[in-house]
Amino acid sequence: MTLFREALKEGTATLEMAGIYTARLDAELLLSYACKINRAKLLARLNDEVPDDKLNFFYSYIEKRASRYPLCYITGHKEFMGLDFIIREGVLIPRPETELLVETVINMLPEDAAVIDLCTGSGVIAISLAHYLYDATIYAVDISKTACKIAKENASKLRVNNRVRILNGDLFEPLPVNLKVDAVVSNPPYIKTGEVASLMPEISYEPIEALDGGESGLEFYNKIVEGAVAFLKDNGVLALEIGCDEADDVVQLMKSEYRNIEVLKDMAGMDRVVVGRLRN
């Protein structure tokens, strides 16, 4: 007989030994997932016995997480902007700091805005914009067919598939040539090629093409800053997530075609978003 609190203690210890600093939280989430109950119910049942079949699932999940396999690839879900998204191998795992990009764009646009989201991945940016801008139309683009498939699942799950158009292709290539939008947004790959291998072990499970921004980390910014000009309406918004050391370079890229350029910091005080408006 194993109680919930005993299973949690054991799972937490295993994850701590593996160097996972969120060991207790991860153990709680994995036990909740194994038992198909939410975390609040789990914490109310700490002195109850865990059914053997659920316990076996839990231990297998703990073993997998201890190998530094990402938590949300195990559970298949990740919360972003208060919404529950399907996340699987083949798409970048959404980070909380990306919410700043979404919130910034929401505050700058009308409810019926048209928006292009490049490098959409699982669709969290595009779908969040469609959810909170009730009449918006979003064109979400990704070069990965796997990402597009998952983004479509998320758009259907969150009931915005009638306003989020998922397009498979390279940046602006699959978009209608005469399309004009109120904003272009992107969280593109921005890690320097030489730095990818030194990142946290969990990141090695994420798709390299969603991380690697080329030798300088700026490869995608060059293309997006230039390409957005043809698609933005007058005074249209360009909003980009950046690496914490890339603000000056991205601002420099935008200066000739954009005005009112701002660099916004995330909750950790790091440069995270660059936003500007197309010059008339």
In a domain, 157, yes or no: yes
* Pair (156, 227) in one structural domain: yes
Residue 163 pLDDT > 90, yes or no? yes
Q: What is the predicted pLDDT for the residue at 53? A: 94
* Pair (272, 163) in one structural domain: yes
Torsion of CA 34, 35, 37, 38, to 10 degrees: -40
- Residues forming beta bridges with residue 199, ordered by sequence position: none
Say if residue 187 carries a ligand binding annotation.
Answer: yes
* Pair (179, 204) in one structural domain: yes
Tokens encoding 29: 């989430």
In a domain, 175, yes or no: yes
* Pair (54, 172) in one structural domain: no
Residue 49 domain boundaries: 4-67
* Pair (43, 87) in one structural domain: no
In a domain, 253, yes or no: yes
* pLDDT tens string 235-258: 999 999 999 899 999 999 999 999
In a domain, 73, yes or no: no
The CATH code of the domain that includes 93 is 3.40.50.150
147-152 — which CB contacts under 8 Å span 24+ positions? 147/90, 147/91, 147/120, 147/121, 147/122, 147/207, 147/210, 148/120, 150/86, 150/87, 150/88, 150/90, 150/91, 150/121, 150/122, 150/123, 151/120, 151/121, 151/122, 151/123, 151/126, 151/127, 152/123
Contacts of 156 (CB under 8 A, 6+ apart): none
Confidence of residue 208 (pLDDT cuts 50, 70, 90): confident
* Pair (247, 116) in one structural domain: yes
In a domain, 72, yes or no: no
In a domain, 240, yes or no: yes
Tokens encoding 170: 């390279």
* pLDDT tens string 95-135: 999 999 999 999 999 999 999 999 999 999 999 999 999 99
The size of the chain, in residues, is 280
Say if residue 142 carries a ligand binding annotation.
Answer: yes
The CATH code of the domain that includes 56 is 1.10.8
- Looking at the structure of the chain, the number of domains it has is 2
Confidence of residue 40 (pLDDT cuts 50, 70, 90): very high
In a domain, 189, yes or no: yes
Structural domain ending residue among the three candidates 37, 67, 97? 67
- Calculate the alpha carbon distances from 54 to 3, 10, 22, 85 in Å: 12, 15, 22, 24
* Pair (117, 190) in one structural domain: yes
* Pair (109, 229) in one structural domain: yes
Residue 191 pLDDT > 90, yes or no? no
Q: What is the predicted pLDDT for the residue at 196? A: 85
* Pair (143, 172) in one structural domain: yes
Say if residue 190 carries a ligand binding annotation.
Answer: yes
* Pair (128, 46) in one structural domain: no
Over pLDDT 90: what percentage of the chain?
A: 89
Q: What is the predicted pLDDT for the residue at 108? A: 98
Mean pLDDT of the chain: 96
Say if residue 176 carries a ligand binding annotation.
Answer: no
Residue 199 pLDDT > 90, yes or no? no
Residue 192 pLDDT > 90, yes or no? no
* Pair (142, 247) in one structural domain: yes
Residue 228 pLDDT > 90, yes or no? yes
In a domain, 269, yes or no: yes
* Pair (41, 92) in one structural domain: no
Contacts of 251 (CB under 8 A, 6+ apart): 261, 263, 274
Say if residue 188 carries a ligand binding annotation.
Answer: yes
Q: What is the predicted pLDDT for the residue at 280? A: 80
Within 10 Å of residue 123's Cβ, how many Cβ atoms? Answer: 31
Structural domain ending residue among the three candidates 15, 36, 67? 67
